[in-house]
Structure 1
Amino acid sequence: MTGVISKAIVILDFLLPQGIEKEASVTEISKELDMPVQSVHRILSSLMEHGFVAQDAKTRKYKLGLSIMKYGFLMWDSLMLRSIARPFMHELGERTKETVYLAARENDEGVYVDCVDSPQILKISEPIGLKLPLYIGASNRAIMAHLPQKTRDAILKDVRWDAIPSLKPMTRAFVEEDMAAIRERGYAVSVEEATEGTIGIGVPIFSYENIVIGSLNVAGPTARFGEEQIARHSLLAVKYAKKISSELGFRGRRDRMP
């Protein structure tokens, strides 16, 4: 299997455009890469099935497919997210005087990828790289709430709710209801789910492809987060999350999801 994967990577690398779009036939690829024609044809068929290569109906030649572009743009979004978000995180931190986190999605989990610490003595300080399931915490549910319905269902399908790493009991019904509320108001709020005595506010961040790729978050001690503070910090977090999304190329209004 490793040999097949290596050959597939070599073929994809061969098809990389060199200034202009590159196309090649099975025979040309076989000759240039010194691979058996049958092996090349079999690998190309598998790659085409998953959208990594496409075949011209007239010339019968192969070129890179849209899946390569999709993953390339997702990687670009991930790399750009932190650098674009950083100045806005600082502004949000200065205005709220609370800790500001940037989270990104990694499969079925959310992970903190950057942080601006609160200047106050009593503050929240979670480590960069902290991962939790997408259904735990405001930073994660803000992301999960805007994933496609099928993706959300797949994530929640086999959850053992009596064994999740949350300080408060949870059910699928609670998570579903909360995600609906998040989509309605535009932000998430969680209280003492991952860390005792803390509250978090999370707002989704979207890429130019209208895909949720992360969240901007304000977190602090529950003692400092009354209704007035939550309302104020939420408005600010929404404002700066929209700025980040705009810088990433998001221009439209995201359609409401079922």
Structure 2
Amino acid sequence: MSGVISKAIYILNLLVPQGSEKEMSATEISRELAMPVQSVHRILHSLSEHGFVSQDKKSKKYKLGLSVMKYGFLMWDSLMLRSLARPIMAELSQKTKETVYLATRENREGVYIDAIDSPQILKISEPIGLRLPLYIGASNRAILAYLPQKVQEAILTNVNWDSIPSLIPLTKEYIQKDIEIIRSRGYAVTSGEATDGTTGIGAPIFSFDNTVIGSLNVAGPSIRFTPEKIEIFSQQAKKYANMISKELGYRNRMKRSQ
């Protein structure tokens, strides 16, 4: 299997444009890489099925497909997210006087990748790099709620709910109901799940292709997060998360994955 993967990578590297779009036939690829043409055809067929290459119907030549562009843009978004978000986070922190976190998804977990601490003496200060399952905490559930339903189901299936790192009991049914609430109002609110005595508000951040890639979060001591403050902070979190999304090229909120 590793040999097939290596050959597929060689083919993709060969088709990388150099100044202009590059197209090659299976025979040309076979000759260039000293690879049996039958193998080239099989690999190209698989790559084509997944959108990594496309074939011109007239010339029968192959070029890189849209999937390569998609993953390239997603990687660019990930690299750009922190630098684009930083000044927006600072403004949100000034507005709320609370700690502001930037989180992103890595497989089944949410990860804090940046933070601006509250100027107040009593504050929340979680470490950068903190990882928790996507179903624990507002920053993570704001991401989970906007993943495709099949991905949500895969993440929530076969979880031992008695041993998860949450300070309060959680169940699959509770998370699924909360996801519906999050999607209806556009933000997540949790209290005391990851850290005792704290409340967090998370709003999703979207990429250019309507993919949720992170969340913007306001967190602080629960004693300060009155219902009135939660309403104000949640609207601010949504506003500033949307600003980051727009910086990443996101435009159409009506096309989120169902």
* Deviation sequence 1:27-57 (CA, Å, 0-9, x none): 1112122223233223222222322112222
Letter of the aligned partner of 1:67 in structure 2?
Answer: S
Contact 2:210 2:255 in 1 (8 A): no
Equivalent residue, structure 2, for 1:178:
178
Equivalent residue, structure 2, for 1:60:
60
Equivalent residue, structure 2, for 1:103:
103
Q: How many pairs align?
A: 258
Equivalent residue, structure 1, for 2:234:
234
Equivalences for residues 1-258 of structure 1 within 5 A: 1-254=1-254
**Hey, what's the Cα distance between the residues in 2 that align with 1:253 and 1:24?**
38
Deviation at 1:81, TM superposition (A): 1.1
**Larger CA deviation: 124-133 vs 197-206:** 124-133
1:254 aligns to what SS in structure 2?
helix
Contact 1:202 1:216 in 2 (8 A): yes
**Hey, what's the Cα distance between the residues in 1 that align with 2:51 and 2:13?**
15
Contact 1:183 1:256 in 2 (8 A): no
Deviation at 1:140, TM superposition (A): 0.7
Stretches (4+) displaced over 4 A: 255-258
* Deviation sequence 1:84-141 (CA, Å, 0-9, x none): 1110000011111111000111122111111111112221111111111111110011
Percent pairwise identity? 69
**Hey, what's the Cα distance between the residues in 2 that align with 1:196 and 1:37?**
62
Deviation at 1:26, TM superposition (A): 1.3
Deviation at 1:256, TM superposition (A): 7.2
**Hey, what's the Cα distance between the residues in 2 that align with 1:37 and 1:210?**
39
1:204 aligns to what SS in structure 2?
strand
Contact 2:54 2:64 in 1 (8 A): yes
**Hey, what's the Cα distance between the residues in 2 that align with 1:7 and 1:256?**
35
Q: TM-score, normalised by structure 1?
A: 0.95
**Hey, what's the Cα distance between the residues in 2 that align with 1:174 and 1:215?**
21
CA, structure 1 residues 94+157, in 2 after alignment: closer, same or farther (shift >3 Å)?
same
Contact 1:206 1:250 in 2 (8 A): yes
